[in-house]
Amino acid sequence: MSPPITDEAQLRLLRLLERNPQASQRDLAAELGISLGKTNYCLRALVERGLVKARSFRNSRNKQAYVYRLTSRGLEEKARVTLRFLARKQREYAALKAEIEELKREVSKLAAIDD
């Protein structure tokens, strides 16, 4: 069994699909900075979970292509993942801010010693 998609990867992919439902998997892979195979895996996982619907069509180059639409369940999941992601980033920001303040205090002490 393959590992689940991370919240971050899922959120980034859902946001991209919402903005550009006709993006090719190759375009999505380039935008996400991941392999085409991983992009395909992630898209299939979202489709299997009912978060995204894929509809095939023929594009102008006479090749099979897909339109990816977020379902209502997909939009709800995107909102939940966004809230979790935001909460995690806020915790990281608070921790980083505290670390920066501690480093500033250390630098101030070192500067006082040098004087």
Q: Is the pLDDT of residue 40 over 90?
A: yes
Tell me the two tokens of residue 99. Answer: 């670390």
CATH of the structural domain 7-85, one choice from 1.10.10.10, 3.40.50.620, 3.40.50.300, 3.40.50.2300: 1.10.10.10
What pLDDT does residue 88 have?
A: 95
The closest alpha carbon to 14, from 73, 92, 65, 89, belongs to 73
What tens digit of pLDDT does each residue of 49-81 get?
999 999 887 665 656 788 999 999 999 999 999
- What residue spans define the domains of the chain? 7-85
Q: Are 57 and 66 in contact (CB under 8 A)?
A: yes
The verdict on pTM exceeding 0.85 is no
What's the Rg (C-alpha) of the chain?
21
Measured torsion, CA atoms of residues 94, 77, 3, 13, in degrees rounded to the nearest 10: -80
